[in-house]
A and B are shown apart, each in its own frame.
Chain A
Amino acid sequence: AQRVTQPEKLLSVFKGAPVELKCNYSYSGSPELFWYVQYSRQRLQLLLRHISRESIKGFTADLNKGETSFHLKKPFAQEEDSAMYYCALRGTLMDSSYKLIFGSGTRLLVRP
């Protein structure tokens, strides 16, 4: 079964501090991992995906298959990063390859 765990409901940091939003997953095959973000009064939107290996808005995430983790990191948080962040997994095995399963989300609050 697919499962995504985000252990922190709320992460509060000061502007300029480093940020790490944790995500762990459970899946028997090789998954696709994503980070989605929901800013206040906006739609949920894709932030980044593990296959792209790129930095979006200063955020990066590395897939660690050994630790089954996909943590989201940013070296210097900005106030505009305040939002709800969701980690998501899509399975690649035939019986689960369509569904995109989300974690419970972490609210990031960046204080001035």
Chain B
Amino acid sequence: NAGVTQTPKFQVLKTGQSMTLQCAQDMNHEYMSWYRQDPGMGLRLIHYSVGAGITDQGEVPNGYNVSRSTTEDFPLRLLSAAPSQTSVYFCASRPLTTSAKGYSYEQYFGPGTRLTVT
């Protein structure tokens, strides 16, 4: 299994440009999510999905769109890039089901995409 993959690894955009960060997983996980990692602020949840066709907002959704047409893929779109979106972006997935006692399973992370907006 490749696990969670992300492309590209690095990207430089000019203000106002749009782009899509790709995320795919081959573990048949229902739950997928996007985080951004910024110094001093940790990981903040952007959007998440609990299955194909179902998405919801996280802590910092403004400026980002997502869609989930398949179980495997969960792309993140920047509609009009701004310097404030300079960050490292992580995609993650895990099974949505819980154990018999109601506990969740481990969440797996991708390698990250380093985005710079100038």
Contact = CB atoms under 8 A, between A and B. Distances in A.
Interface stretch (A14-22, A73-81, A98-106): A98-106
Interface residues of B, number: 27
Contacts, number: 49
B103 A32 contact: yes
Contacts of A101: 45, 59
A25 interface: no
Nearest to A1: B59
B2 interface: no
Contacts of B41: 104
A46 B59 CA distance: 21
B44 interface: yes
A92 B109 CA distance: 21
Output the residue of A51, A90, A100, A103 with the most chain B CB within 10 A.
Answer: A100
B110 A32 contact: no
Contacts of A51: 101, 103
Q: Decide if the interface of chain A is mainly helix, strand, loop or mixed.
A: loop
Nearest to B96: A98
B111 interface: yes
A99 B60 CA distance: 13
Interface in B64-118: 90, 92, 96, 101-104, 106-107, 109-112
Residue in B33, B42, B44, B58 whose Cβ sees the most chain A Cβ within 10 Å: B42
Q: Nearest 9 A-B pairs (CB), nearest first?
A: A104-B42, A102-B43, A44-B109, A105-B42, A46-B106, A43-B109, A102-B42, A51-B103, A103-B42
25 contacts: A32-B103, A32-B104, A43-B109, A43-B111, A44-B43, A44-B90, A44-B92, A44-B109, A45-B109, A46-B106, A51-B103, A86-B42, A86-B43, A98-B50, A99-B33, A99-B45, A99-B48, A99-B58, A100-B45, A100-B92, A102-B43, A102-B44, A103-B42, A104-B40, A105-B42
